[in-house]
């Protein structure tokens, strides 16, 4: 009898016969994009060391701007967190507000960058990409798998540099510790198949 682990490994590593751009082995999945630029709707925290009375959490408006203490409206869409830190520090110095500030910026929610979960999950939909979000965590955000979900046949579709790849993953093997979880990137689409009885 073929063990569940062996079946899991087969599903994870054997390419599936299909047309171009169709399902491929897990090894064919490009690594997630490391780009962490912010956009409208994203929430970040900002600490100016020594300025304890300032708000710490900010959300980027639909036009890509945010109102910051001392600096008023600043265009931030398309910038990395470290670029925001440098810009705020530079403006505070240029406007003689602070002499040598230390500015710490961390993104809390990438609402402009989302992943989509469909099929046999409790709450299908689109979810904000939080830093480090993985496949299992995203399924959890969607309320988990339904009772008729085919956990060993979960399709993940990713587009990187204009190339779209779909792989089949075994979520059961991941949760059992037999396979590594999969980090997600903005735009990933996950579809959980229904079991056939």
What is the residue extent of each domain of the chain? 4-35+112-194, 43-109
What whole-number distance in Å separates Cα of residue 133 and Cα of residue 28? 20
Is 9 in a helix, a strand, or coil?
A: helix
- Which residues, in sequence order, are bridge partners of residue 142? none
Burial class for 3, CB neighbours closer than 10 Å (0-12, 13-18, 19+): exposed
Supply the pLDDT for residue 130: 84
Asked if 172 and 4 touch (Cβ cutoff 8 Å), the reply is yes
β-pairing, 57-59 with 65-68? unpaired
In tens, the pLDDT along 139-176 reads 999 999 999 999 999 999 999 888 999 999 999 999 99
Fold of 4-35+112-194: Outer membrane lipoprotein wza fold like (3.10.560)
Separation in Å, CA 91 to CA 53, 55, 68, 86: 19, 18, 11, 9
> Considering all CA atoms of the chain, what is the largest pairwise distance in Å, rounded to the nearest integer?
75
pTM of the model: 0.67
What are the residue ranges in the chain where pLDDT is below 70?
Answer: 1-27, 197
Of residues 160, 164, 163, 151, the one with CA closest to residue 191 = 151
> Would you state the pLDDT for residue 25?
60
The model's pLDDT over 70-89, given as tens digits with 9 standing for 90+, comes to: 999 999 999 999 999 999 99
> Which of the listed CATH numbers 3.30.70.1560, 3.30.870.10, 3.30.930.10, 3.30.1950.10 matches domain 43-109?
3.30.1950.10
With H, G, I as helix, E, B as strand and everything else as coil, classify residue 168.
Answer: strand
């Amino acid at each position: 009898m073929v063990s569940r682990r062996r079946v899991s490994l087969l599903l994870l590593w054997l390419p599936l016969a299909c047309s171009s751009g169709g399902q491929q082995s897990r090894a064919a999945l490009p690594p997630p994009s490391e780009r962490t630029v912010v956009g409208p709707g994203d929430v970040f925290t900002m600490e100016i060391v020594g300025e304890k009375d300032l708000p710490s959490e900010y959300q980027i408006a639909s036009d890509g701007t945010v109102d910051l203490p001392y600096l008023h409206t600043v265009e931030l869409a398309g910038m990395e967190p470290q670029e925001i830190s440098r810009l705020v520090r530079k403006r505070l110095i240029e406007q003689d507000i602070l002499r040598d500030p230390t500015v710490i910026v961390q993104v809390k929610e990438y609402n402009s960058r989302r992943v989509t979960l469909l099929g046999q999950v409790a709450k299908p939909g689109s979810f904000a990409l939080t830093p480090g979000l993985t496949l299992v965590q995203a399924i959890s955000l969607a309320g988990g798998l339904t009772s008729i979900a085919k956990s060993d046949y979960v399709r993940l579709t990713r587009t990187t540099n204009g190339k779209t790849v779909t792989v089949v993953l075994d979520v059961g093997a991941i949760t059992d510790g037999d396979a590594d979880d999969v980090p997600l990137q903005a735009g990933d689409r996950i579809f959980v198949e229904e079991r056939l009885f």
